[in-house]
Structure formats: C-alpha cells, structure tokens
Chain A
C-alpha cells in the first residue's frame, strides 16, 4: 500500500481548464516553434486569456527528435517570454511537464500555468533515432529499436494469456475506427507477433493544456477538471530485468493517485501498441463498464512528446462534458518503462 498521509496530502484545487491540439498529420511543413505558437494561441483564445495571464510555463519536447541541441530555447519564442516569465522544460512527454506545473501551482502563489508537448517525428527516422536513446553499452550498439521491444513485450503478454493476436487486432480496429479483424489478421507480420495494425502511426503535432487554481479555475470554465491524483513511477531501463507481462510502475502510480478511491467512467491510456492497451486494462483492473480510449488513442495518432499530454486533455473532455471521474495514463521508455497516472474529477 502507498501511504497517503495528511502530511503529503496534495491540493485538490488545481484543474485542467482547457486544452488544444494542432492538426495531427504524418508530415507537417511547420517548425516545432510554429506548431507551439499556434496551439498556445488556440487554447488561450478559447479561455479568453492572453499570454500576459500565464504565470508559469512548462514545455515537454525532445532534442533527439528535433535534431537540434537546446531546441526548447527556440520553443520559448512561442510563449512570448517578455517581460521574463517563470518557465521550465522537461525532456519528456508533456504529461510530465504537466506534473511539474501541478507541483509548481501547489506553492499557492500563482494561478495559471500552460503546459505543452511537441514533436516532429517526421524530421528523422524513428527506427534509427530511438535505438540511440537506449542503454549505450548493451542495447544501442545492436540498434535495438522500438518495434523489437514492443514485439518482445507483446509475446510476453500473449504468453501470459492477457492478449492474443485477435484481441490485439480488435483493439486496433476499435482505436482507429476502421478495418476488418479477419482481414488484418491475414496480413504479414511487421515484427512477429505484431502486424502493421498493432503499431502506431508516425505523427507530427503539438498540444497545450491550461491549468488553473482555486476561484480562477471556476471563473474560467463551468466544469474544471480537477486533478484528484497524479503520480509517476519508473522501472529499470533494460527489459532483460523486467517482467514484460506486467507493469508494476503503472500499478503503483495508480494506487498512489487514488484510482481505487472511486470508479472512473473513462480511461485514456497511452498505448502506442495494441497489446499495451490490453496489458494496461489488466494492470489497472479496468472493467467492461469503463470506456477506454474514446479518442482513438495513440494507435490513431501518436505525436511523440505530446501523446501522453493529449490523454490528459481527452480525459478532461469527459469532465468538461459532464462526466464525474476519468483516468489518464502516459508512458515513456521501452516496454512501458515509466508510467504516469492522472485522475481527473468534476466539481
């Protein structure tokens, strides 16, 4: 059990009040800064805010994907950081940027934060870039790529009886809203046991979320999506030392975020590969009454560095639309190495 004593109780008064995403495309002609400029303007316009109203920004992006050292410095141009602003950056998905902004808002001295996630995956070849982020001694020199790691985890998940190729194809069809399961199962393997439909698209895009505290949140929107719990945990990097048919870091983060306190109606999980959705459903003990990934999830669009933040945005949509409680999940690293759970609740 994870202790949640009064001393480490978190503020229940911080909410997602709005979010926006760019068009999600295979290939954009816009620079990452231009994508951010557009999406930050979009979300602020929705809320009738200006850049001058922002007290804190935290941006999630990855130099490896952009191909430019300190690319987040250029991305600051999208914020309009003059007069100088409080700003931070994480070399992670925007969901972790949101975690940092949530911590910062708990100090209680500021009211509004903007969080972004952005990436142009089409800039390079993901199959050549991601191996370089792996363990440099044992994995990177072999060119160990994301499809290989996902395939090995899929085999473990299938061996454990949590999924089979048919249920994976069904998850894919459900997410993408198209395709015929039998026809998909008849296609060649991309990386056995993965077919192409089990694998995410390559997507360019960015997302921006606005967080607000206390009375300010209630002024801005009718139904703020309050952050009831937020936690993230990591496992060791090398999949050699992990049980690939389980995700203990997801389970612990969910427990710490209070998933068990009350049922959720919707869960948005960052499952880029079809078997990951089935594994996460099992680990989070989501019943058939929970709607999983109504957005279509990462199998429909996978803007690396924004995919996790979009899950929080879509979970917030459920609250904005009248729902009571939703879960968002984000992940990072090979085979669900690091996992974040965010529980959102209505007023």
Chain B
C-alpha cells in the first residue's frame, strides 16, 4: 500500500500594481470603479495595453457603474474556499454602466432561477477596503449599492501593491524505496541502491538509476559506510522569510562516503562550529535517539530518516586537492 505525504506550499506574494491597475484599486477603496479609454471602448477591468494590438494606452480613466447589467452567468452550487461567497452564488460577466467590456464577478443571486441575462446588479462593498478586486464582496440585485459593516473610508495614499497569498495542498506518493531507506535508518543503517547495469550506487531512496533510467528494487540494496570525508561546504547566513526557522549562520556540507562514489549533499554538521569546517575533514553519521524518532523528520528529512547529520570522528584530515570537486 503506497504511502502519501501531504504538504502545503504557501507563497505570500506582494504584487506591484503599476499605474493603471493601481489607479483602479485605489478608486475601489473610494467605492468608485474605473475603466480606461481605448478608442471608442471603455475597458473594464482597465488594461495598460490594447488587448488586441498591444498598443500602450494613455491613462485616460473613466468612472463607470457602479451599477451594471448581467450579460452572462453560471451558477456555483458548491463554492470552493477561494470563492467570494461561501453559499451558492453566480459568477457573472457584468457590463457596468458606461463600460464596453464585461467584468467577471460574483452575484449573490439567491437561486439560479432568479438569474437572467439583463439582470441589473450593484456592488456590495466591504466596509474596510484595501485596494483589491474583492473590496467588492459581490454584486447584489437592483440599482442600489450596499456597504457591509462600518465604512472606514478611502485609502489615504495611492494603492501601489497588493497582497496575494497562494496556498496549495498536495498529496504525493512516497516511493517504496524511500520507505525502506527510512526503516533502515532506524537501525543506524545507511541504505544504498546499486544499479545492475552501470554499477553506480545511489543513496537517498530514489528507487531508480538516473543514468540508465531503470528501476532499482530491494534486490539492488547495499549497506553504505557511515563514515566519510567533507568534500565541500557552504555557510548559509539565513535571511528572514516566512517558514525560515534558522537565525544563525549554519553549514551545509557534502560528504563522500568511504570506499564509494556516493556523495551525500546538503548535510547539517553537528558539534562543529561553522568557522571550523574544512575540506578533507573526517566525519561520522549522527543518528537520532529512539525518543527523537517519534518526530518523523530527522535532521535531513525525506529518505534520510533518522540521519541527523555528521560530526568529526577525530581522524586526521585527508589532503586531496580533487576532493573539493566532489559534490555529486
């Protein structure tokens, strides 16, 4: 039975709006909707360029709506968490009065039977507006705009940036070879896979040879030495970003395992200050204690299981000028 690992990726984007979209968003905070003149057309939403020819448009804004007419619609019986309303609603193409192109937005229509082309709709504004398209919560039936809650007024400064938090949850299959490597790590074993064609050995539980493009099953497994030599390293000075837990400079080292061609990359070092790491230094694997193993992730994560990193084993350095080239 294949195991699946769930992960959520979040990108907290800050987007620059530019002179045209920025003007539109700024106007939204004042409960006004702007289009841009393009010859005889008034484009809503406004664009910086003619959608047909790509010619740059002068910033000739025209206030439109806020009331408009539904040109087309579809009914959303079961909204997603990203949708503007969490009960059944319509997505509609709405031609705002004075515009020549339709704006996509939500209509709080009650039921699909009430939706019809030609329906007149007006915005329901958020009480506190920040300069985003969802400052308009949705459109409502009729000619009268609404405001939800207390109105905190227009932005004091032009809106130049917009926050957009993209978040996606994925479920990915964990290869069987990865799971076998993790189980072996609980017994302080570092599992490798030897390709029957090219004889190359790989660590990390990948389950196939990237050179010959063949699968490597349990019959290809070999035990790897848990002692090696640092071939290269980087000292990472952490910068602050969402999800970064490191605050002090830290080392990521590459370790060539004794008697093999296997290099284990991006490894933490343990009981070894960053300014004392050297190419040629001899190190041994450090494993999580049984108590720590309840925490699924070791120091390296993924197929490395209980392997936390590497610490000096006291042997004299190896002096080999070629070592530094071994990062793969």
Contact = CB atoms under 8 A, between A and B. Distances in A.
A72 to B, nearest CB: 14
A233 B115 CA distance: 35
Nearest to B90: A192
Interface in A128-158: 128-129, 131-132, 136-145, 147-148, 151-152, 155-156
Interface string B75-87: 1110011111000
A67 B84 contact: no
Contact of B80 (A37, A120, A145): A145
A156 B7 contact: no
B156 interface: no
B208 A152 contact: no
Interface in A240-278: 240-242
Given A138-B45, A143-B80, A241-B51, A41 B213 contact: yes
A328 to B, nearest CB: 27
Contacts of A76: 210
A240 B101 contact: yes
Given A123-B170, A141-B132, A236 B52 contact: yes
A82 B171 CA distance: 31
A142 B84 contact: yes
Interface in B77-108: 77, 80-84, 91, 93, 101-106
A41 B208 CA distance: 13
B83 A143 contact: yes
Interface in B88-143: 91, 93, 101-106, 112, 132-134
A136 B81 contact: no
A80 B134 contact: no
A107 to B, nearest CB: 26
A123 B208 CA distance: 21
Contacts of A34: 175, 207-208, 215
A156 B72 contact: yes
Nearest to A135: B45
A141 B211 contact: no
Interface residues of B, number: 56
A152 to B, nearest CB: 5
A240 B103 contact: yes
B4 to A, nearest CB: 9
A105 interface: no
Contact of B164 (A136, A155, A192, A193): A136
Contacts of A189: 75, 77, 112
A254 B178 CA distance: 47
A79 B13 CA distance: 34
Contacts of B213: 37, 40-41, 51, 77-80
A45 interface: no
Interface in A308-334: none
A41 B209 CA distance: 13
Contact of B112 (A123, A143, A192): A192
Contact of B168 (A29, A67, A191): A67
Nearest to A145: B80
B117 to A, nearest CB: 9
A67 B45 contact: no
A152 B169 CA distance: 27
Given A29-B173, A192-B75, A141 B91 contact: no
Contact of A152 (B2, B81, B93, B164): B93
B55 interface: no
Contacts of A122: 171
A132 B166 contact: yes
Given A142-B84, A143-B84, A148-B76, A240 B102 contact: yes
B83 A142 contact: yes
Contacts of B251: none
A103 interface: no
A137 B51 contact: no
A142 B106 contact: yes
B133 A138 contact: yes
A296 interface: no
Max count, chain A CB within 10 A of own CB: residue among B74, B75, B215: B74
A139 B104 contact: yes
Interface string A35-58: 001001100000000010000000
B294 interface: no
Contacts of A156: 72
A37 B215 contact: yes
B17 interface: yes
B72 A128 contact: no
Given A138-B104, A148-B91, A67 B172 contact: yes
Contact of A241 (B43, B106, B132, B166): B43
Contacts of A287: none
* Interface pairs A-B: 7 shortest CB-CB: A143-B82, A67-B170, A151-B74, A77-B210, A80-B213, A241-B51, A29-B2
11 contacts: A66-B170, A80-B210, A82-B211, A138-B103, A152-B93, A159-B72, A193-B74, A236-B51, A236-B52, A239-B104, A240-B104
